[in-house]
Structure 1
Amino acid sequence: MEMTNFKDIFKSSILEKTSSFSIVDSLLGLIVAFAIGLFIYWVYKRTFTGVIYSHTFNISLIIMTMATALIIMGISSNVLLSLGMVGALSIVRFRTPIKDPMDIVYIFWSIVAGILCGAGFIPLVIIGSILIGFVLLIFVNRIKVENPFLLVIRYNATEIENSLEHVISGQAKKHSLKSKSVMPGNDYEVTYEIRVKENDMSFINNISNIEGVKSAVMLSYDGNFTA
């Protein structure tokens, strides 16, 4: 009959759990994750079309890819550790606002690439990242999308609305009324979404010269508008 002593009861099984740990496979996964992160970094820099480029955010994509791969490597061979990691990550809340939808795409790409690297699907993550990068480079840099503008006009007489509509419809390829509001002093303000002909902004002067128009402003428009 075997005797169970105090040491056996509290014996740690950490070393036993990590007996299948492979340094070579782990290093290979992290190196590939770093390479894929650099590729994501380069694609993001080449395809950025926002107002202010954030180098810090771009660097975080590399770290996110490697960190995700590291987590997957750690929890892949230990069920208890995986459950603890899920519980720990579930209480984390990220408060940084994501203004550009494309930033969410790059974050998701980094996480997926890290998961695949950590799981050992090296060929899949390489082929998938190349295809995703190719699609982003083609659609963002090569295919030009005509962005609309917002035309904000302030005037003090409702009688000139027909004149405004005539000038806008005659010199813009497409337009639609987004909002109309009454300002203090019986002034009116209308906002149009318009698409100009070959970036011709000369009709702004024609609108400004209409009697009763106080101001006419053209704004760049990314597709989101809140009245």
Structure 2
Amino acid sequence: MNIKDYFKKSVWESFMNSQTMTEDVVLQIVIAMSAALILGLFIYKIYQIYFGGVVFSRSFATTLVGMTVLTCMLTLAISTNIVISLGMVGALSIVRYRTAIKDPMDLLYLFWAISVGITVGANMYVLALSACVLMVILIHLLYHRQKRGMIYIMVVHYEGELTGDEVLRAMKKIKYQMKSKTLRGSLTEMMLEVYCRTDSTVFLENIRAIEQVKDVTLIQYNGEYHG
């Protein structure tokens, strides 16, 4: 028997074996899909709790659950049938996803959901659970604590050479970093990145009370401008 005949025989045997749904196979599928659904809902909840953006996207969070379940289904199908695996490789190679991911953390959650689906589909439940525990620790310690407080972009328009110094003195203990300073005739535009640990914006009133300040604008900053 040459290599070509052996390959044909292997494909045929794989195809025939996949057509027989034994009780063990059905039980394996039910357990894997149930575990994928539970862990997908767990990822959904973690995303909801630690979401640090401006507007929570329920559709994206639901996508995480669906991604986990569907990836598990694909892994189960590929692992039991070489014919289906070759077909899926060809089908998935022509798929193009053009939805822009603005927050890098959203990309992390997507890969987390896909990874959990693959490991559960491969019956590696301990690995999937261990990864979930480590991811929660990672997000809580390295990202969530860093996100405490709010970052704003403050834009101040004023006149006078010394007014800018008065604005900076009015900031007092508020952490800030100057981003730009633009001179337009007698009017100056100063842009500061401001870090506030609380929701209190009393410093805005102090700045607005300065005589030559024309207006003050505070914009929430999260990697992009949100008006």
What range is the shorter-chain TM-score in? 0.7 to 0.9
Q: Select between 25-34 and 83-92 the one with higher mean Cα deviation.
A: 83-92
The answer to whether the 8 A contact 2:67-2:113 is kept is yes
In terms of mean alpha carbon deviation, does 150-159 or 56-65 score higher? 150-159
**1:23–1:199 distance in 2 versus 1, CA, 3 Å:** closer
Instruction: Name the CA distance, whole Å, in 2 between partners of 1:136 and 1:51.
Output: 18
Instruction: Return the alpha-carbon distance in structure 2 between the equivalents of residues 59 and 89 of structure 1.
Output: 21
Find the counterpart in structure 2 of residue 178 from structure 1: 179
Q: Which runs of 5+ in 2 are unaligned?
A: 1-7
Structure 1 spans left out of the alignment, 5+ residues: 1-8
What is the rounded CA distance, in whole Å, between the counterparts of 2:90 and 2:186 in structure 1? 59
Closer, same or farther: CA 53–110 of 1 in aligned 2, 3 Å: same
Q: Given the alignment, which residue of 91, 94, 109 partners 2:94?
A: 91
Question: Runs (4+) of structure 1 moved beyond 6 Å?
Answer: 138-144
**Equivalent residue pairs, number:** 212
User: Which of 31, 36, 44 is the equivalent residue of 1:33?
Assistant: 36
Paired AA for residue 123 in structure 2: G
Quickly say closer, same or farther: Cα 1:62–1:199, change in 2 above 3 A.
closer
Instruction: Name the stretch that deviates more: 86-95 or 31-40.
Output: 86-95
What does 1:78-227 align with in structure 2 at a 5 Å threshold?
A: 78-133=81-136, 135-136=138-139, 145-168=148-171, 171-183=172-184, 186-196=186-196, 200-222=200-222
Name the CA distance, whole Å, in 2 between partners of 1:172 and 1:204: 13
Task: Report which of the two structures shows the higher radius of gyration computed on alpha carbons.
Answer: 1
User: RMSD in angstroms over aligned alpha carbons?
Assistant: 3.1
Deviations 1:171-210 (A, max 9, x none): 1342221012244x64221111123576553232232222
Asked if structure 2 preserves the Cα contact closer than 8 Å seen for 1:72 and 1:118, the reply is: yes
Report % sequence identity: 33
Q: 1:69 Cα shift?
A: 0.8
Question: 2:62 maps to which residue?
Answer: 59
Cα contact 1:43–1:137 (8 A) shared by 2 = no
Report if the CA contact (8 A) 1:148-1:223 is conserved. Answer: no
Question: How far off is 1:33 after superposition?
Answer: 0.8
Secondary structure of the residue aligned to 1:219 is strand
Q: Is 1:74 aligned to 2:68, yes or no?
A: no
1:68 Cα deviation (Å)? 0.3
